[in-house]
Structure 1
């Protein structure tokens, strides 16, 4: 099945109305350094997911800078493609869903909540995370916006361990029909299995942006996948992982070094270092 050519077309918004917003598929593919797939299949999905994770960083700058994030089509496209930014989990996964749909993939948004912050278990807010269900020969779960996400799609109905370059993953269905993801023995998130629309995530975004109890708006997270692992920043702590192991970790105390390093790793130029809490331990 060939992917439909939807480059530079007028697309429907999430509420079904017609807008003048033009989603340029080729520009988005160029942003992630990917060629247009010749077919809509699992192999192409793996390729697109990996390219997205290696080029579009997870980053929470907007929350730190008090800019309200959006999961709507046009601002997402502008932020990721035109501004060459990254975003939070909801932004990255929603943006990836926009691309996949225009390439012909059947995609469903699923609401989720984080259950581990990298240091200890906790109960994140409902719809504080978002994952994608992509239905091909079977249903797959795709996540391009989470620090501990798999590099390849996970088979939703497959029992047992699914080995991935980012570790070992297992999916478990709960008694009430949700699905839980365990990564390297750690329960990371729980997702609903019924479809959601982007409007359903507005309340969680508002909480993350405004609540004094939400750490995301007072601390900086940034992360990008590399060929052998991942490079993450938590506030001023830069941590590099290789083949699943922590390779190095250090604090970027010098402002000039912080700004240079952030731009080099994540492709984002900052005028000054945001006001960040003192931290010595990375994630």
Structure 2
């Protein structure tokens, strides 16, 4: 990522260029990213190719002011952090599903980030709803922050389980990976009828007050910090497009619809 791209990325998330790659700077960058770059799977349903290459990801997230899912968001954010002088490693994870079953290998991408003031952090801007701030990688007790109560727990074979409010989120490998290692996982999420990304539309981000706004198809949900929710069904295409534009910064020519794996509108 060149200096011009770094500057454009920082403008995208409304952040100043940090003087040093410190823990405080990392916390600020993660929070601003979560507030401005939505977690979304629209590319799957509008026929856009997802390419796990840094230039293509930067063009989408920074150039086109779009969001993405884990490989895109954490892949791009990791490139930004690396360009800013942080020590970044890409880590593979398997997401816990129903009844505690683990999903596919490389089903999620997260980041291990080291800072110049001695911090070692699990950083994740691509899980949808997780911690607002980086989690201390070596801490095994509870970590309480605005996103919930978290624990990082030792698992088998040297892996780590990430737990939020007592519920398993994903199992993390500690071996660093390359972005290209995640292509099979991204392809599965993009194409498989079993992937929840092919079954529904989602666009979601953290709000300034710590709540969340989510557009699922035509249903707009605003969640307050105390957990109360306001749900509204949007009745017209114009309303849907206006929400994408005004609440998520995404300009679309037409309303996305869920597509069958064979590419037909559903």
Taking structure 1 as the reference length, the TM-score comes to 0.85
- Shift, 1:110, TM fit: 0.2
Q: Which residue of 2 aligns with 1:167?
A: 148
Structure 1 residue aligned with 2:113: 134
Equivalent residue for 2:218?
236
Gaps of 5+ in 2: 260-266
Distance 2:68 2:2 in 1: 24
Of 50-59 and 252-261, the range deviating more from structure 2: 252-261
Tell me if the contact between 1:231 and 1:241 (Cα under 8 Å) persists in the aligned partners: yes
What secondary structure sits across from 1:76 in the alignment?
helix
Residue 198 of structure 2 contacts residue 258 of structure 2 at CA under 8 Å; is this kept in 1? Answer: no
Please give the per-residue CA displacement for 1:50-102, whole angstroms capped at 9, x wherever unaligned. 11111111110111123221221111111111111111111000100110001
Checking the alignment, whether the CA contact within 8 Å between 1:66 and 1:209 is kept in structure 2 is no
> Deviation at 1:189?
1.0
1:149-160 to structure 2, matched below 5 A, reads: 149-160=130-141
The yes-or-no answer on 1:211 pairing with 2:207 is: no
Shift of 1:124: 2.3
CA distance in 1, matches of 2:234, 2:102: 30
> Matches of 1:243 and 1:165 in 2, distance apart?
8
Q: Deviations over 1:119-174 (max 9, x none)?
A: x7553221121100012313210001112221111001112211111111111010
**Aligned residue for 1:12?**
none
* Preserved CA contact (<8 Å) 1:89 1:146: yes
* 2:102 corresponds to: 123
Asked if residue 276 in structure 1 is aligned to residue 253 in structure 2, the reply is: no
CA distance in 2, matches of 1:140, 1:80: 23
Q: Which residue is 1:223 aligned to? A: 204
User: Counterparts of 1:1-283 in structure 2 under 5 Å?
Assistant: 7-8=3-4, 24-116=5-97, 121-136=100-115, 137-228=118-209, 229-276=211-258
SS at match of 1:200: helix
Higher fraction of helix? 2
Distance 2:232 2:95 in 1: 26
Structure 1 segments, 4+ long, off by >4 Å, are: none
Q: Structure 1, unaligned stretches of length 5 or more?
A: 9-23, 278-283
TM-score, normalised to structure 2, is 0.91
Deviates more, 1:96-105 or 1:237-246: 237-246
